[in-house]
Amino acid sequence: MSPLGDPRGAPSGLTRSEELVLGVSAAFLLFLLVAMLTGALGPTYFLFLVGLAGMYALLSLGLNAQWGFTGLINFSVAAFFGIGAYGTALMTASGSPIAGGLSPLAGLAVALVAAFALALLIGIPTLRLRADYLAIASLGLAEVVRLIALNERWLTNGSAGVRGIPGFFRGWPVLSTFPDAMPGLRIEVIPGSPVILETAFWQASLNVLLVLAFAGVAYAVLRRAHRSPWGRVLRTIRSDEDLARALGKHTYSFKMQSFVLGSLIMALAGVFYAHLNLYVGPGDLDPITTFYAWVAVILGGSGSNRGALFGGVVIVAIREGTRFLNDVALPIDPAPLRLLLIGVVIVAVMRYRPQGVLPPQRELIWPRAVGGSGTPETPDSGVRERKGGGGDE
Amino acid sequence: MSEGALPEGDAALRVDDLRKSFGGLTATDGATFDVERGTITALIGPNGAGKSTLFNLISGFYEPDGGSVTVTGTDVTGMEPHEIADHGLIRTFQTPRKLAGMTVREAMLVGPRNQPGESFRALFTSPGAVAESESANLAAAERILAEFEIDHLATQPATDISGGQMKLVELARAMLADPAVLLLDEPVAGVNPTLADKLKDQIRRLNRRGTTVLLIEHDMQFVMELADTVVVLDQGSVLTEGSAAEVRTDDRVIDAYLGGNG
């Protein structure tokens, strides 16, 4: 598949697709707001969805740093997600068979160190070789990590999973007691169906705050790193690694940096998940997570950070949105329907917009350097149309 | 720059008894020659003579079975391509490498070696230095594009330009890497005569600024006009070398090209 799609795509297509994305997102938000005010959608559940969206956004941002930037094929997204989740769970949970009871900050640190080590472990033997080797090895890695979580009871509690994970903000000043301290609120927009905001809601707000912080940091780091000489070398490697080597770039080192960076971001998603769900089990390491992350990146546009964010949100919309199908009397089980729907979306994207919904459009040149004389006055006719507006990525 | 880096008359590139076999096929069989500093040397020979293999051996893409390669006095035998590039030897490829999703100037900006912004950490700890070097490189890239009279292509997708223009961009990018020794693999293959003349001028200009050039080319007219020295390769080893005029009249060379030898 062509990594960036057809560079001769309609020149105005990007603008239109961005408008479309904006429009659909706005409509969707409005719909959710109405649903919430009318009591059809519980506000706590809504915040849970936002949290999940942030989590998938993190996963796809991480994969984007590997596949989108550098062309590294990583099929073990679930393993890095899992190592993040288990890393913090085993440190902080009351039900942890090893340490337990530590501060979630220590859990975060352990999770990141573990993901770092795992990335090195798989990267060192494979990143010197052709891209396919990482793909094959990562397939195996995902399964190995899952089986360890399932079978090494002394470490992971086996199939019972790890229970009793505290919220991320336990032990923090103010924030740890914030949900309980907040008064319950009762909002009645439509008479007869009040919306009640209580402890669970405030707890969920904190989680959203956490995932926004994680995703915000990840996005800011990736954005700065991508539009730079560093990101340019990665894109050269993705396109033609031999050329990068001939120009004196130590491609192994660059690939390793990109791989580790992506893996750490995936582990962040795992850390968030553990403190959101308060339980981690081997089922959380199922390959479906990897699959979702890939769909999100391809859908959003490989190499585009905004695309990855967007893709993550779409995944949650499909995954959770289809739950409402349960309420409709369908003759079949909606769960497989969900996968079918995602498959249809992928086929449609590949057919009609192979470069993704929001493909990368900026040159990978340090923004401050282009800001002066170098900015072309006219939009280029290629993949990356320049626009007057601010925008990002 | 490479000027003054070496004593006068020393070799910028020394290939000594280089050997490489692929299975039973001997592609390079004891090739030995020097490229004098500041010269333009052409590597010619019939198809299958082992020219491209030799380029790959010199630039580190193949590991030689025996022999050595010395770049500006440093033995680079067995080093990785990026390490050899760090010693000042930059190469281009026979088929222009297309950088999908990049504009022309973006593709050129990959050229400069050891940019501060290629360090992930520096992007966050010293953004000022990154911006400074990036501005300088961008200005240099735009200057070269203007010299080559293709500045109008700067923000075009690098995959959308003609084959000849791609050859120019490759040369321009290699120039940005500021090489002591530049290896050009068929710089004018498939390039129209006007562009080929332009390329010739640019290679000569680059050479006058101190870059030593070794090039593979089948266009004999081009070789005769440009090269100070011609090295003729046949069946993996050096058949003869000398000035263009000498080589042209050498019976062994004519034989090799006409397939006269058994």
Q: What is the pLDDT of residues B173-199, one digit of tens each?
A: 999 999 999 999 999 988 888 888 888
Residue B162 pLDDT exceeds 90: no
Residue B71 pLDDT exceeds 90: yes
Residues of B within 8 A of A257 (CB-CB) are 120
Classify residue A147: in a domain, yes or no.
yes
Classify residue A15: in a domain, yes or no.
no
Q: Do B117 and A228 touch (CB under 8 A)?
A: yes
* Mean pLDDT, rounded, for A150-178: 89
* Mean pLDDT, rounded, for A235-251: 94
So what's the pLDDT on residue A327? 66
Classify residue A261: in a domain, yes or no.
yes
Residue B141 banded pLDDT, cuts 50, 70, 90: very high
CB A100 within 8 A of CB A92: yes
Using CB atoms, pick whichever of B86, B105, B123 lies closest to residue A230: B123
Indicate the helix (H) or strand (E) that contains B20.
strand B11-22
Give percent of chain B with pLDDT exceeding 70.
95
B94/B183 same-domain check:
yes
Using CB atoms, pick whichever of B113, B138, B160 lies closest to residue A248: B113
Residues of A within 8 A of B155 (CB-CB) are 363, 376, 380
Classify residue B171: in a domain, yes or no.
no
Q: Do A370 and B109 touch (CB under 8 A)?
A: no
Of the ranges A348-352, B1-5, B75-79, B159-163, which one carries the lowest mean pLDDT score? B1-5
Q: Do B123 and A228 touch (CB under 8 A)?
A: yes
pLDDT in tens, A278-324: 999 999 999 999 999 999 999 999 999 999 999 998 888 888 877 77
Residues of A within 8 A of B55 (CB-CB) are none
So what's the pLDDT on residue B257? 77
Mean pLDDT (chain A) is 85
B110 touches chain A (CB under 8 A): yes
So what's the pLDDT on residue A376? 41
What's the pTM? Answer: 0.89
Q: Which domain holds residue A334?
A: 40-356
B91/B114 same-domain check:
no
CATH number of residue B75's parent domain: 3.40.50.300
Residue A209, class by beta-carbon neighbours within 10 Å (0-12 exposed, 13-18 middle, 19+ buried)? middle
* Mean pLDDT, rounded, for B147-155: 89
B82/B19 same-domain check:
yes
B143 touches chain A (CB under 8 A): no
B137/B126 same-domain check:
yes
Secondary structure (3-state) at A6 = coil
B90/B188 same-domain check:
yes
So what's the pLDDT on residue A220? 96
B109/B81 same-domain check:
no
Classify residue B104: in a domain, yes or no.
yes
Residue A393 pLDDT exceeds 70: no
So what's the pLDDT on residue B119? 95
Q: How many domains does chain A have?
A: 1
Most confident of A23-37, A79-93, B99-113: A79-93
B39/B52 same-domain check:
yes
Alpha helices in chain A (DSSP H): 13-37, 43-63, 69-70, 77-92, 104-126, 131-151, 153-156, 178-181, 199-226, 229-239, 241-246, 251-277, 288-300, 305-321, 334-352, 367-370
Q: Which domain holds residue B124?
A: 100-158
Residues of B within 8 A of A237 (CB-CB) are none
What is the least distance, in Å, from the CA of A294 to any CA of chain B?
20
Classify residue A179: in a domain, yes or no.
yes
B94/B181 same-domain check:
yes
Using CB atoms, pick whichever of A7, A235, A376 lies closest to residue B159: A7
Classify residue B226: in a domain, yes or no.
yes
What is the least distance, in Å, from the CA of A393 to any CA of chain B?
15
Give percent of chain A with pLDDT exceeding 70.
88
Classify residue A12: in a domain, yes or no.
no
* Mean pLDDT, rounded, for A260-264: 98
What is the least distance, in Å, from the CA of B122 to any CA of chain A?
10
pLDDT in tens, B14-56: 999 999 999 889 999 999 999 999 999 999 988 888 999 999 9
Mean pLDDT (chain B) is 89
Of the ranges A166-180, B14-28, B221-235, which one carries the lowest mean pLDDT score? A166-180
In this predicted model, which residue has the larger pLDDT, A133 or A386? A133
Residues of B within 8 A of A8 (CB-CB) are 160
Residue A158 pLDDT exceeds 70: yes
Classify residue A384: in a domain, yes or no.
no
Closest residue, chain A, to B121 (C-alpha): A225
In this predicted model, which residue has the larger pLDDT, A212 or A191? A212
* Mean pLDDT, rounded, for B202-230: 92
Q: Do A249 and B82 touch (CB under 8 A)?
A: yes
Smallest Cα–Cα separation from B229: which of B37, B6, B88? B37
What is the least distance, in Å, from the CA of B174 to any CA of chain A?
8
So what's the pLDDT on residue A191? 74
Q: How many domains does chain B have?
A: 2
B150/B189 same-domain check:
no
B194/B132 same-domain check:
no
CATH number of residue A70's parent domain: 1.10.3470
Q: Which of residues 179-238 of B touch A (CB under 8 A)?
A: none
Mutate to test the interface with A, among B52, B83, B110 (most CBs of A within 10 A): B110
B24/B147 same-domain check:
no
So what's the pLDDT on residue B259? 60
What is the least distance, in Å, from the CA of A287 to any CA of chain B?
30
B230/B242 same-domain check:
yes
Query: How many Å apart are CA B41 and CA B220, to the nearest integer?
Result: 13
Q: Do A235 and B101 touch (CB under 8 A)?
A: yes
CB B145 within 8 A of CB B104: yes
